[in-house]
Chains A and B, each alone.
Chain A
């Protein structure tokens, strides 16, 4: 009898499992989309980021209740060149809980892209001709990848716009003069195994080259070379491009490390980038620059990322426009490393304010952004200063609970 009872219960349990599986299968559950979720081909790259161009600076940072995805809101702040204050310029109309990326070329409109979240599977876009005062809507057919340079725009009134989309396989799309009509350029599937000098793992960034061409920042497995790809027409009727890696080679003593481009930006003088270099368990960051006039690469010395530390935010555009800044963090500890441009050393700044979540570099000034819920505080530092000083505080009108 005991055996029969146990058997009946086991049968009942199996039946319940079967019912549940059938129900789950029949209702066609859709997994909520998340920006840059685990399992994506692209590595986890900090979205908190900043770009300074000759016309403006932008910074993107997560605010709200960061422990709750639906109450985490990504905010865009802009600061005009020559200005001293940051203004909230997050485009309205879309829940941006998944993340936000921006393409802010030297001239022409600013374009913001929303990463997907919850049940939204394509990325809305917004474009502003007046530095974020007004926005026009658009959309991509699929989801932007969660990297700070997932979009790039040429200069001009109606520039080409490039975007990296997709999850397991990335696709680079281009739109010529609009925000809703896109066509594919290249995919990771096409690049995989076809680029000499780089076993392409993921497309992390797009940028406009010196002649207006598209550049791709990619991850290369055990290549010993940073992956900056340039396409050239094949001459065939199909229009298929050949891609070559013309990124800088690393000086290595042993095996070829893997590299991953974290940032790739057009600057006034050329291209500035930041790469993660991995050799075994060791990770370091290398800044690299392409000088437009000479076409030559320059690389920085590496900044070692200590074990259990991670890159929390990155900024491009300090110094003369090619400077780069990195915010490293581990728990509540923070460290800011700055290089002013090609050939410049990495300098560790004074201990940044507690809670620093993002950074920006404007000329010789470095701004550290501290976020606490709806409060956004700007701390500034410049060479010769005794330390960080509080330059502004903004209360952001976050609508908690507005995203379900």
Chain B
């Protein structure tokens, strides 16, 4: 916001500190020798001033004529100083540039149906595929067994999240939550599924803590799956998700990806879920729109 304010204020200052417009200025009329009235007396003063002005108009050329109140008035745009007009145009142009840039970003942030163009610009377009989704057998956040076969009949938005991640995963989880809201009545035909993607922190307790943190513990079609490390490793491998836990206090790293699987268990879309800069809120809104649109396409294909 600060840059916007600075630009606006400087634009304002540029305008108000500019010279006053030509049509407000009252140049001294050309005074003919012997003319009555003080030099520079404002136009329109009854008496000699008018006369002087008339004389000036006759004798002083175009400048004097322009100032003469008795002269037939020129169009207002003819009376604008070109330099002032240029400065105003520049200030308005700068403001327009800001608005052209900021308005869509602001709209994308507040508009739940923001165009997914931004997300595609960051992460690329979703890949359209038609391969079978690898099976898995895990447990959900309540400890209930869940397999991919159990989800037949639903479109599945599947992603991989580290429940103790400090950066990307909470953002991706929120994108999934918003996408669910965007789907409206279609949401009941969808299951949003995350698979725990941390070699150490993948217990039920940690998964539940993540759900609470993200406000997903009350979303009925949200499943955060986990299981024994060996089973998780198998799922990570079959879905092409690389996972590593660096030593010395580093955050576990993993591939940011989502799959949209149709009701028959076929992968229809592969989407890069890397949220990019954590500050680009419009990109997150855009990603949620992208995800919702891809799910909708798969639902209605």
Contacts and interface: CB of A to CB of B under 8 A. Distances in A.
> Are A and B part of the same complex?
yes
Interface of A: 1-2, 5-6, 9-10, 12-13, 16-17, 19-20, 22-23, 26-27, 29-30, 63, 73-75, 88, 90-97, 100, 114, 116-122, 124, 126, 135, 137-141, 179-181, 396-399, 402-404
A402 B91 CA distance: 43
B201 A94 contact: yes
B199 interface: yes
B281 A29 contact: yes
B205 interface: yes
A117 B8 CA distance: 35
Given A5-B15, A10-B12, A93-B245, A118 B166 contact: yes
Contacts of B206: 124, 137-139, 180
A183 to B, nearest CB: 14
Interface string B8-43: 110110011000110000000000000000000000
Contacts of B170: 30, 119-120
B5 A23 contact: no
A17 B11 CA distance: 16
Nearest to A94: B164
Q: Is the interface of B mostly helix, strand, loop or mixed?
A: helix
Contacts of A119: 165-167, 170-171, 278
Interface of B: 1, 4-5, 8-9, 11-12, 15-16, 20-21, 88, 91, 95, 98, 102-103, 106, 109-110, 164-168, 170-171, 198-206, 208-209, 212-213, 245-253, 278, 281, 285
Contacts of B12: 6, 9-10, 13
A33 to B, nearest CB: 8
A133 B212 CA distance: 31
A29 to B, nearest CB: 7
Given A27-B109, A122-B212, 4 more contacts: A6-B15, A117-B166, A122-B209, A403-B251
Contact of A90 (B95, B168, B248): B248
- Between B1, B91, B103, B285, the greatest number of chain A beta carbons within 10 A of the residue's beta carbon is seen for B1
A20 B106 contact: yes
B86 to A, nearest CB: 14
Contacts of B16: 2, 5-6
Counting from the closest, the 5 A-B pairs by CB-CB distance are: A180-B205, A93-B200, A95-B251, A399-B250, A404-B167
